[in-house]
Structure 1
Amino acid sequence: MENQLAQPEILIRRIAIVAVALVLVIGAIVVSFHVMRVSDPYFQSILSLNGDSARGHAIFEINCAGCHGVEAAGLVGPSLQHVSQRKSKIGLIEQVTSGETPPMPKFQPHPQEMADLLSYLQQL
């Protein structure tokens, strides 16, 4: 009788160990992906610069306002109001440069221009 009761406990323990291992592996993958992005020279150069929000606004008007609206309230693209509360600087850079969310085009501005754009986006 004891052997029958022990079997489900062993199975539950094994499932728990596998679940913990999966969580750790996924966590390690997420952390390594973040470290890779932060160590990218393009990202590093942007993050080391001070952006000018006035220049960032001009960059936004030329490249982004057509889809996100002049006030960044959204048109074809979503509203970018308070976007810095939803995405980190790295997340914003990735969003702008990746082109992975159609219809948004891939856009890789010069690091100073990206720093300026980030500065503008953070004040929305």
Structure 2
Amino acid sequence: MVVLIMGLLGFTIGYLDQPSPYLREVLALEGDRIQGHAIFQMNCAGCHGLEAKGKVGPSLQGVSEHKSKRRLVEQVISGKTPPMPQFQPSPQVMADLLSYLESL
């Protein structure tokens, strides 16, 4: 199965069986939970609430218990769940955000 992901410079094609270079880079980095919290506050809290307990968007408490790191990254960057916008931060920023999401 092929997945199209809109990048900042155009479309990239990723295969579900093989992580994209972006995903591999994100997963290879160590995220900073504190930085991730700040990123969440600036970009996500408007819909998911200041404490990620839900608002317009769903609660993200315990999200890493039912979504893998890979699925969390794909959810954030895809924009496939309207009204959630497509968001593709730098790999380090995504790793930081992922670290915060895993702490919920």
Q: Give the TM-score normalised by the residue count of structure 2.
A: 0.85
1:106 is the counterpart of 2:86: yes
1:70 is the counterpart of 2:70: no
**SS of structure 2 residue aligned to 1:71:** coil
Output the CA distance in 1 between the equivalents of 2:17 and 2:69: 14
Unpaired runs of at least 5, structure 1: 1-28
Unpaired runs of at least 5, structure 2: 2-14
Output the CA distance in 1 between the equivalents of 2:81 and 2:30: 27
Output the CA distance in 2 between the equivalents of 1:64 and 1:53: 15
Equivalent residue number for residue 16 of structure 2: 34
Output the CA distance in 1 between the equivalents of 2:89 and 2:29: 14
Equivalent residue number for residue 73 of structure 2: 93
Identical aligned pairs, as a percentage?
A: 63
How many equivalent pairs are there?
Answer: 93
**SS of structure 1 residue aligned to 2:76:** helix
Q: Give the TM-score normalised by the residue count of structure 1.
A: 0.72
String of CA shifts for 1:9-40, please: whole Å, max 9, x gaps: xxxxxxxxxxxxxxxxxxxx5xxx5323x2x1
Output the CA distance in 2 between the equivalents of 1:52 and 1:34: 27
Equivalent residue number for residue 4 of structure 2: none
Name which one, 1 or 2, has greater alpha-carbon Rg.
1
Deviation at 1:86, TM superposition (A): 1.1
Please state which structure has a larger fraction of its residues in helix.
1
**SS of structure 1 residue aligned to 2:74:** helix
**SS of structure 1 residue aligned to 2:16:** helix
Equivalent residue number for residue 12 of structure 2: none
Output the CA distance in 1 between the equivalents of 2:65 and 2:35: 21
